[in-house]
Amino acid sequence: MKYMLLINAGSVEDQGCEPGEWMTFDKEVREAGVFVSGESLADLVTATAVRVGADGARTVTDGPFAETREVLGGFYVIDVPDLDVALDWAARCPGARGAGSVVVRPIADF
Amino acid sequence: MAAVFREERGRLLAALVRRFGDLDLAEEVTSEAIEAALVHWPVDGVPPRPGAWLMTTARRKAVDRLRRDQALSTRLAILRVEADRADPSPPVGVDLPDERLQLFFTCAHPALAAEDRGALMLRFLAGLTTPEVARAFLVPRETMAKRLTRAKKKIHSARIPFRVPGADELPSRLPGVLQVLYSIFTEGYAASAGPSLQRLEVAEEAIRLARILRRLLPAEREVAGLLALMLLTHARRDARTGASGELLLLDEQDRALWDRAMISEGAELAAVALTGGPPGPYGVQAAVAALHDEAVDLASTDWAQIVALYDVLMALGPSPVVAVNRAAAVAMRDGEAAGLLLLDELAEEPLLRSYHPYFVARADLLQRLGRLDEAADAYRTALSLAGSEPERAHLRRRLA
């Protein structure tokens, strides 16, 4: 079963932990054979939001957004047998430490 | 006859969940198998192995159901059914394998909403109907049905596993299971709202579940401690309310009404909980309850020992609620003024702002010290916070 690990930094300023820890985690995920995909996202100041109104008009706004408290910094999709295994991987992720959090969401299976 | 199935229902359901990995399917075919038994057994007689009969019937119904309606079924369940058909022989030797331990851990899984865990346990392990579970938690039936559906959906869609945590995980997962059982018990022991203080049937369901868990995990001393705590508390049930249903405190209770058999069973279990290693919080709380239960009156209670046990409890996990109990025990050991001093130190504790027992304890000590105006103030604050009607009646009586 596939789960997405959404890696949130605690704040915009939060730069996360050591790159070395991320490289180790990334290596572990790949070597364990559970890696499906994963990316880290560029800085929040580069974000742009698009909305389309009922009349079809497009509104484009610059991010970041004032209301954002947790900032999505990246994600992994992993394929593991059940939630407990997914939670174990989330707990090993450096993004789960400090002010950060990792939200585990099952990928919908249609 | 339906009552006979209470116990069987939990076992059957757990075994089916284990086999098919699907709570909804297990629930439906469990009900169907029990309905079938209610039709056949009065006519044909009770089969020699009722559990195996129910299991076979339920499995047959599960296979039929999945064959009939492939769209409804999950791929996982179909796979299990295929495997099941290949090996249809029931296990030899036992009437019905006991797989309820897995279900305990699933129902108490930390990924589920805390408020749903107790409901799941009452529904699936205690075998209560949804309206009965709703009554246990004093919520409307529709609300409870929605909550159970939501929780089942999460178990299914997020694939929360049906498994017993390994030895390395057990210390971190077992307290969660015990906490759910204790929260069911306290809802029965001191209802959070409503006309009656105690709802004995809810407390008794919690005790029944704790007994099952004790049989499943005989080596876990905290399970013994929890069961001991429940028994030693429940033993006072008949003395806890007066003629008009009002709450009676320890000093007002007729100790002749305490259930001696339950006290000795609880005390034995408390001894088990405290032997053979460092004690856990339930074992220590059970020891406090045992000291109360074994004393002939309030004055001859071993308060020094009780204070010492609260010290242990604070060392295991400091909590303002434990600190309030400790202060009350210190007041009995060293006098009201000493206890009041400790309570005053807790005045700024945010968790206690809405905790009415804090204000009751304070009012009681102030009253005994003759500071009646302050006592009345504290009683009034407690009254504005208290939950059930008998507790409120007790406070109004004190205030008068």
The CATH number of the domain holding residue A65 is: 3.30.70.1060
* pLDDT (0 to 100) of residue B93: 41
* Per-residue pLDDT tens over the stretch B237-292: 999 988 888 888 888 899 999 999 999 999 999 999 999 999 999 999 999 999 99
* Per-residue pLDDT tens over the stretch B297-337: 998 999 999 999 999 999 999 999 999 999 999 999 999 99
d(CA B33, CA B26) in angstroms, rounded, equals: 10
**In terms of domains, do B107 and B199 share one?**
yes
The label of the residue with tokens 């939990």 reads B10
Residue range(s) defining the domain that contains residue B52: 4-86
* pLDDT (0 to 100) of residue B399: 77
**In terms of domains, do B75 and B152 share one?**
no
- Residues of chain B neighbouring A81 (CB-CB closer than 8 A): 159, 161
Domain count, chain A: 1
Phi and psi at A81, nearest 5°, equal: -65, -40
* pLDDT (0 to 100) of residue B395: 80
Question: Taking CB atoms and an 8 Å limit, are B157 and A106 in contact across chains?
Answer: yes
Q: Is the pLDDT of residue B24 over 60?
A: yes
Q: How close A54 gets to chain B, by Cα (Å)?
A: 32
Interchain CB contact of A87 with B (< 8 Å): yes
* pLDDT (0 to 100) of residue B91: 45
B208 or A11: which carries more pLDDT confidence? B208
* pLDDT (0 to 100) of residue B255: 95
Least confident of A56-70, B18-32, B154-168: A56-70
Q: Which residue of B has its CA nearest to A3?
A: B158
d(CA B139, CA B287) in angstroms, rounded, equals: 34
B299 or B397: which carries more pLDDT confidence? B299
Q: What single string gives the DSSP state of each residue in B266-280? A: HHHHHHHHTSSSSPP
Burial of A38 (0-12, 13-18, 19+ CB in 10 A): middle
Q: Which residue of A has its CA nearest to B109?
A: A84
Contact B266, B287 (CB under 8 A): no
Q: Is the pLDDT of residue B52 over 50?
A: yes
Q: Is the pLDDT of residue B1 over 60?
A: no
**In terms of domains, do B211 and B130 share one?**
yes
Q: What single string gives the DSSP state of each residue in A21-71? A: HHHHHHHHHHHTT-EEEEEEPPPGGG-EEEEE-TT--EEEEES--TT--SE
Residue range(s) defining the domain that contains residue A36: 2-106
Alpha-carbon B222 to chain mean position: 14
Mutate which of B76, B157, B159 to disrupt the A interface (most A C-beta within 10 Å)? Answer: B159
Work out the average pLDDT over B174-191. Answer: 91
**In terms of domains, do B110 and B68 share one?**
no
* pLDDT (0 to 100) of residue B3: 61
- Residues of chain A neighbouring B163 (CB-CB closer than 8 A): 84
Question: Taking CB atoms and an 8 Å limit, are B161 and A81 in contact across chains?
Answer: yes
pLDDT band at B90, cuts 50/70/90? very low
Q: Which residue of A has its CA nearest to B163?
A: A84
Question: Taking CB atoms and an 8 Å limit, are B160 and A84 in contact across chains?
Answer: yes
Tallying the residues shown for chain A, one arrives at 110
The label of the residue with tokens 């129902």 reads B107
d(CA B32, CA B27) in angstroms, rounded, equals: 9
Indicate whether B17 belongs to any domain: yes
* pLDDT (0 to 100) of residue B92: 40
Q: Is the pLDDT of residue B179 over 50?
A: yes
Q: What percent of chain A has pLDDT over 90?
A: 59
* pLDDT (0 to 100) of residue A68: 62
Q: Which residue of A has its CA nearest to B75?
A: A109
Q: Is this prediction's ipTM beyond 0.95?
A: no
Indicate whether B167 belongs to any domain: no
* Per-residue pLDDT tens over the stretch A23-73: 999 999 999 999 999 999 988 888 888 999 999 999 888 876 656 667 899
Alpha-carbon B178 to chain mean position: 7
Indicate whether B325 belongs to any domain: no
Indicate whether B189 belongs to any domain: yes
Q: What percent of chain B has pLDDT over 90?
A: 56
- Quote the mean pLDDT of chain B: 88
CA dist list (Å): A42 to A22, A47, A73, A74: 15, 8, 8, 9
Contact A35, A29 (CB under 8 A): yes
**In terms of domains, do B54 and B111 share one?**
no
Domain count, chain B: 3
Q: Which structure tokens are listed for B171?
A: 């210390």
Q: Is the pLDDT of residue B80 over 70?
A: no
**In terms of domains, do B208 and B106 share one?**
yes
d(CA B63, CA B85) in angstroms, rounded, equals: 8
d(CA B185, CA B201) in angstroms, rounded, equals: 10
